[in-house]
A and B are shown apart, each in its own frame.
Chain A
Amino acid sequence: MEVVLKIKSHYLFNAFLIFFVVHATQIGVGVQGFQRIIFQNAHQDAWISVIISGVATNLLVFMIIKTLELYSSTDIYGIHHDLFGLIIGKLLNVSYIFYLIMSFFVVLRNYIEVIQAWIFPELPLWFLSSSMLLLVIYGINSGIRSIVGIAFFSVTLSLWLLIFIAYPMKYANWKQMLPMFEADMISLLKGAYHMTFTVLGYEILYTIYPYVKEKKKVQKFAQLGVVFTTLIYTSLMVVSTVYFSGEQLERTIWATLSLFKVVRLPFIERFEYVAITYWMLIILPNLILYMWSASRGIERIFNIKSKNTIWGISILTIIGIQFFVTRNQVNTLNGVFAKFAFFVVTVYPVILYLFALVKRKLLKKGAS
């Protein structure tokens, strides 16, 4: 396996699109209902937890890109191979692919859960998942530049949903934000820890980095993407805190979607149905990018054509999803995944960065 990837120039895309890629992958299923978990920990100061997690994400993105910059043009698979050698590298790569497939699976299952809970309780899992998967396969088959394009349109075409956050403000009770700064540091950090499931997505940089044309600009646009995400999460948290009363928020599973329940337009009375179905567009880049990264990895390690792996993963997903039927099972899945993901997206980038740095230093010493 080659460490440094030489990507043909017609596969490269402009650096500013990284903003949309990072943002689109971060916003997904977590945002639909992260509020209550954070609120359980930090209560009315939950917004601080959200900001803490945002700042931490900025730092992690910084480290991820620094790690990648140590090599001229490579992805996480190449780095693993270079740092840890053939066997351990392969092992780490396989576990990273496992993580990507798991995130893909979790995103898909959670979105289907929302559809089943809100709109079509009678639709079977296999049907919803296979129709989504066909869309994903179609998206991936059209190549990396189209995938990035999907991310771009997913963000720009769903910005208008943000306007409707103004409606619940009519019922806002600002006293629910007071007294401020009551939560102690530990509960704030706990809240930030529980944000993992919601903020993850920036690890996509590990796999998409070689495809960016101007590599120097990646840092800037990736950071901006994360800041934009944090901005949206913080405002959603504040709106939810003033709109719901404490215990009510703790009982609301999908607070963001519930916010849309008070939007009443002259031509559509129940706006949440539009929001939920429109969410498909927000989910799509998530699914496509995770699946693409996983298939890329398999192609790199085992030399299996990604077209075949996509179908393989899809079939496995449809079979696997049958084991997560009830809300409880989905919750357990989310819990396990959140712990696993916390390690992969927050602890591991730091470790990897340190390893890469040390290796670079040792090499330099050896050379001189």
Chain B
Amino acid sequence: MKRWCTSFFPWIVCLILLSGCAEKKILEEIGLITTVGYDLEKDNKVKATLVVLQINPEAARNIDVIASKAQTSKGSRLDANLKASKKLQSGQLRVALYNEEISKKGIKPYADTLARDPSISDLIYIGVVEGATEDLLKHDYKNIPDIGQHLFNLIGQLTDREQISNSTLQEVRQSYYSIGIDPVLPLIKRSGNSIIVTGNAIMRNDKMVGKLSPDESFFVKLIRDEYRTGSIELTFPVKDIRGKKHKVTTVIDTIKSSKKVKLVDKTQPRFDIDLDVKGRLLELQGELDLKNPKNIQLLEKAIGLKLKLEAQKVIAYCQERNSDVFGFGETYRSSVRFANLTRKEWHQKYRTMKYGISVDFKLIRTGITE
């Protein structure tokens, strides 16, 4: 008996002490923040708009949108708590949005506070909003019952289909903290009663410096990353086997790509970019006879050329904006020993960087008809 007491006594004490000591978080008593949007106001204060999901069977809508103003992003959450009937918790945060003014000033302080908070996941999406985020989040959409869920699904779906680059908090922070690669963020806009992704915002370190359309963004991912199942629409001229010129528009999907970026010149940075792209022809508008395999070869060449020209345009634009979203600096840093590269140095070099690009395009198949 005595032995039993001495060995189990601590356990029993533990059990009694441990139960119910920590702060309780009962689902019905908390408001789950699913989306936050930050706008920079004229007085330099930050306006936060929170989409709060509440579990309340009696309410007609279980979404509440609260806007509040403060000096900091977390301060505005405190302020928002004053307006909420339930305790606000950020553990279910899925999307964080910033308007263009904040993005131009730099998202680092805001993204870092998100990462500082252990209750926030590293896999939340980060995006830039054209216009005010408050307007985007507060608007009463006809077909969207839950704006937070909608935004999360929208970005998630586009990321999975590889139409936009990954923009989770982890990846964005990884990019702006590394030397030689700049982040890309999805650009989101409200247009009437719907929300659309209008392309990508390109950054220099953590500051937004330009915009790319979805078609242009394709080339960023092509060089920065790799495609496993991408798709794109291209319009270009092609000469068929008889020498007749056609203007065709094609849609290519299930694009698989691999890239090789090599540094050829260290002193005056020069890169060789080799892109190997494979895809399926989904649609072809134009008079081109695909029964002839030689025409397909010509088409492949024309697509390769078109991709190359477009890629050059996008690189030129990003160079002009001085945003290395392609990660050339990573290649430079990893192939030059004792470079001691700094972000500033790289961005100076990047402006005048030279490159040669070659694209090898292959059509895997043309669908089930010819």
Do B122 and A258 touch (CB < 8 A)?
Answer: yes
Q: If A118-B118, A178-B335 touch, does A171 touch B22 (CB 8 Å cutoff)?
A: no
Do A134 and B14 touch (CB < 8 A)?
Answer: yes
CB A176 to nearest CB in B, in angstroms, measures 7
> 1/0 contact trace for B333-344 toward A, CB 8 Å?
111111000000
Partner of A134, one of B10, B22, B23: B10
| Chain A hits for B178, CB < 8 A | 173, 176, 245-248
A298 CA to B121 CA, complexed, in Å: 47
Main secondary structure of the interface of B (DSSP, over half): helix
> 1/0 contact trace for B178-215 toward A, CB 8 Å?
11000000000000000000000000000000000000
Partner of B14, one of A131, A176, A248: A131
Partner of B335, one of A138, A171, A179: A179
| Chain B hits for A323, CB < 8 A | none
Do B10 and A173 touch (CB < 8 A)?
Answer: no
Do B18 and A142 touch (CB < 8 A)?
Answer: no
CB B220 to nearest CB in A, in angstroms, measures 16
> 1/0 contact trace for A171-193 toward B, CB 8 Å?
10101101100100000000000
B347 within 8 A of A: no
CB A145 to nearest CB in B, in angstroms, measures 15
Q: How many residues of A contact B (CB 8 A)?
A: 36
Do A179 and B337 touch (CB < 8 A)?
Answer: yes
| Chain A hits for B123, CB < 8 A | 261-262, 264
B267 within 8 A of A: no
A141 within 8 A of B: yes
Do B122 and A245 touch (CB < 8 A)?
Answer: no
Do A248 and B177 touch (CB < 8 A)?
Answer: yes
User: Which among A65-73, A120-128, A334-342 touches the partner chain?
Assistant: A120-128
User: Which among B146-154, B168-176, B243-251 touches the partner chain?
Assistant: B168-176
A175 CA to B173 CA, complexed, in Å: 16
A179 CA to B179 CA, complexed, in Å: 14
CB B16 to nearest CB in A, in angstroms, measures 11
| Chain B hits for A176, CB < 8 A | 178, 330, 334
B317-370 CB contacts (< 8 Å) to partner A: 327, 330-331, 333-338
B59 within 8 A of A: no
Q: How many residues of B contact A (CB 8 A)?
A: 33
B237 within 8 A of A: no
A247 CA to B10 CA, complexed, in Å: 45
Do A246 and B177 touch (CB < 8 A)?
Answer: yes
A152 CA to B136 CA, complexed, in Å: 56
A299 CA to B129 CA, complexed, in Å: 69
Q: If A138-B7, A245-B175, A245-B177 touch, does A179 touch B23 (CB 8 Å cutoff)?
A: no
| Chain B hits for A248, CB < 8 A | 173-174, 177-178
A244 within 8 A of B: yes
Main secondary structure of the interface of A (DSSP, over half): helix
Do A269 and B10 touch (CB < 8 A)?
Answer: no
Q: If A127-B21, A138-B11, A261-B121 touch, does A245 touch B337 (CB 8 Å cutoff)?
A: no
| Chain B hits for A131, CB < 8 A | 14, 17-18
A117 within 8 A of B: yes
Do B174 and A173 touch (CB < 8 A)?
Answer: yes
CB B217 to nearest CB in A, in angstroms, measures 20
A248 CA to B170 CA, complexed, in Å: 10
Residue of B nearest to A271 (CB): B121
Partner of B17, one of A127, A142, A258: A127
Do B91 and A270 touch (CB < 8 A)?
Answer: yes
B44 within 8 A of A: no
Partner of A171, one of B18, B170, B333, B336: B170
Do A175 and B330 touch (CB < 8 A)?
Answer: yes
B85 within 8 A of A: no
Do B10 and A137 touch (CB < 8 A)?
Answer: yes
Do B174 and A171 touch (CB < 8 A)?
Answer: yes
Do B334 and A262 touch (CB < 8 A)?
Answer: no
A contact set with B: CB distance below 8 Å? 117-120, 122-123, 127, 130-131, 134-135, 137-138, 141-142, 171, 173, 175-176, 178-179, 182, 243-248, 251, 258, 261-262, 264, 269-270, 272
A selection of 7 A-B contacts at a CB cut-off of 8 Å is A119-B118, A122-B23, A123-B22, A175-B331, A244-B174, A261-B122, A264-B123
* Extra pairs beyond A119-B118, A246-B179 (14, CB < 8 Å): A120-B22, A130-B17, A131-B17, A142-B7, A171-B174, A175-B334, A176-B330, A176-B334, A243-B174, A245-B173, A248-B177, A248-B178, A261-B121, A270-B121
